Amino acid sequence: AEYHSYGGPPGSAGYWYDVTEELVLPDATVRKKGEKTDKSNTFIILYHEAFHQYIHYSAGKLSPHSWFNEGYGDFFSGADISGGKVKKIGPNPWRVATIKSAVEKRKHVPLVDIIRYEQRDYYRNAGLCYAEGWSIIYFLNTSREAQRHEVWSQILPTYFETLKSAWAEQLLRLEGEGKAEDETALLAARKEARDAAVDAAFEGVDLWELQKAWMDFVMEIPDPKERR
C-alpha cells in the first residue's frame, strides 16, 4: 500500500523514475514462522529496476525496445551475488513457468514481431511479453548454441552499440535542425534509433531458425520454483 501510495503503478513490482533519480520498490521479504526469511523477491525487483537505471544513462536517456530493456532487467534478476561478486546468473523464477507454458501451447509472440514491439505493444500482454523477453535474453546469453553461433552471438552487443550510435546521430541531427526540444521530433527520432538497432542486430539472421532453437532451449530451462 505504501509503495502504491508513493506512485507505484498498478500491477507493477517496482520502478525507476529518472526525473527524481529514484529506484522505488516495496520490501517483498517473505516471513513465515519456523522458516528461513526469504528476501529473494525483494532482490529480484531491485536488480531489475537497477538495470533500468543503468541503461537510462548508458544509452543516452533512450529506452531500448522492451524485449531488450525488460528482458535484461529480468536477466539480471537471476543474479546470485555473494561477497560482492556475481557468482552466476540463473533463471528468473518469476518467468520460467509462463514462457514454458506459452511455448508448449504455441501461444508465444513470434520473434519476428516481439523484437519490434514498442512499449505499448509489449504492455498489452505484459505477463507473456515480460517472460518472453527474459527468455530471449537468457537464451542469447547462456545457450551454448547461441554463444557459439557466429551471427547469433553478436545480436545483443550489435543492438546495444547501434542503439547508442544511432541515437547520438539523431540528437546531432535534431540539434542542427533546431528541434532538440521538440517532443514530436524527439519521439520520432527515438523510434528511428531503435529501428536502426534492431535492423543491425538481426541483419542476416534467419528468425525462424533462431525461433526454433530458442523454443527448444526454453523447454529445457529448469524451473527454480519446482526445486523448492
Rounded Cα–Cα distance for residues 97 and 99 (Å): 6
In the structure, what pLDDT confidence band is assigned to residue 84 with cuts at 50, 70 and 90? Answer: confident
Q: Residue 226 has what pLDDT? A: 67
For residue 218, give the C-alpha cell. 526454453
Report which DSSP code applies to 38.
B
The pLDDT confidence band at residue 227, using thresholds 50, 70 and 90, is: low
Q: What is the mean pLDDT of residues 170-188?
A: 95
Grid cell, residue 49, equals 529496476
Please tell me the distance from the alpha carbon of residue 199 to that of residue 116, in angstroms, as a whole number.
9
Say if CB 179 and CB 84 are below 8 A apart.
no
Percent of the chain with pLDDT over 70: 99
Tracing cell 518467468 back to the chain, one arrives at 95
Residue that is written with C-alpha cell 532482490 in the block: 43
**pLDDT range class, residue 5, cuts 50, 70, 90:** confident
Specify the pTM. 0.91
Helices (H) and strands (E) in the chain, counts: 11, 4
Residues 113-161 have pLDDT tens digits of: 999 999 999 999 999 999 999 999 999 999 999 999 999 999 999 999 9
**Mean pLDDT across the chain:** 93
pLDDT at 7: 85
